[in-house]
Amino acid sequence: MPRLIDCYLEESCTLVESITAIDEAGFDARGDASIDHAAGWLRRLGNDPQFLGDLMLDELRSRHRDTAADSGYGAQSIVLSGPKNGFFLRANIWPSQRDHAFRASGGNSFAYGMPHDHNFDFLTLGYFGPGYVSDYYEYDYDAVSGWQGENAGLRFIDRSALSPGKLMLYRAHLDVHSQLPPEAMSVSLNVMGIDAAQGWHDQYGFDLEKGTISGILNPTSTETFLRVAVGLGSDEAQDLAKHFGRAHPSDRLRLASYEARALLVDADGQDALWAEAERSGSRMVAVEAKARRREIA
């Protein structure tokens, strides 16, 4: 399960102070000193019970002057800082089943009951309310290929709540959790790790009953652009898709290239295309290709 961080400080700080202090040193979850530094400033920020409510009140007073492009706010997440030195700060709102937001949008809108890992590291602190509950698992990311239905080798660790003051490090590609709604509205504060390559690192959803991977949760804009380009029918797009299918370092994009090309041919052409994909050299693409051929047959 996520690593518990022992960091008990009584002093508090402002949002600006926490952003500035973490930014000066940066955030790198590969180093204990960096983790401890960021955790200390997240703890100080969390010790101020008023800052988030005051911030939200200020935004409500002036929101009529904002544009959508300027807003870092959504139904659940409040972005507290822009991208900085390896991180950004965020607050997340977790409604209970009794809250209107849950009843109106459903649990899936808040990732409840949707087991998943993360393709980034982040610190989280229980700030307000009893906190969401999670069933925690671990798995070996390097041991899976990522095809749908693959045995993930999940190991159950514990069930616990992100209670007020609890501070944890979620480790990329290791910690898996299935979240349950809190007993009452809750809020967490996060130091979110960022790096330029993380978009190419797969984030998985899991089927806990079967212990398998249920799908990839982080498609990229590159995949969308490729599908649109191929769909528009240019020879250059077809050539690029063929090249990506054979040689791109991302298995996810290789699969997307075959899927895009398959939409333009009949059943016989699809079968031939997926037969080619089976020989692409990627285990994930090969297994997915076999499934597509079974569907055609």
Taking Cα atoms as reference points, which of 96, 89, 95, 107 lies closest to residue 44?
89
Task: Tell me which H or E stretch contains 138.
Answer: strand 133-138
Fold of 3-216: Jelly Rolls (2.60.120)
The residue written with tokens 């070996």 in the block is 140
Strands (E), 151-218: 155-161, 167-170, 175-180, 186-193, 204-207, 212-216
Walk along the chain (297 residues) and give the pLDDT tens digit of each residue: 899 999 989 999 999 999 999 999 999 999 999 999 999 999 999 999 999 999 989 888 876 555 544 445 456 899 999 999 999 999 999 999 999 999 998 998 899 999 999 999 999 999 999 999 999 999 999 999 999 999 999 999 999 999 999 999 999 999 999 999 999 999 999 999 998 888 788 999 999 999 999 999 988 888 999 999 999 988 999 999 999 999 999 999 999 999 999 999 999 999 999 999 999 999 999 999 999 999 998
* Rounded Cα distance, 71 and 64, in Å: 11
Sequence-distant contacts of 284-291: CB under 8 A, at least 24 apart: 284/145, 284/146, 284/147, 284/251, 284/255, 285/251, 285/254, 285/255, 285/258, 287/145, 287/147, 287/149, 287/150, 288/147, 288/148, 288/255, 289/258, 291/148, 291/149
pLDDT at 63: 66
pLDDT at 136: 98
pLDDT at 139: 98
Distance of CA 165 to the CA centre of its chain: 23
Taking Cα atoms as reference points, which of 71, 75, 55, 42 lies closest to residue 190?
42
* Rounded Cα distance, 250 and 263, in Å: 21
Hey, what are 222's tokens?
């590159």
Degrees, nearest 5: CA angle 142-143-148: 105
Domain residue limits, the chain: 3-216, 221-296
pLDDT at 297: 87
pLDDT at 69: 43
Q: 73 forms bridges with which residues in the sheet?
A: 78
User: What is the separation, in whole angstroms, between the first and last Cα of the chain?
Assistant: 42
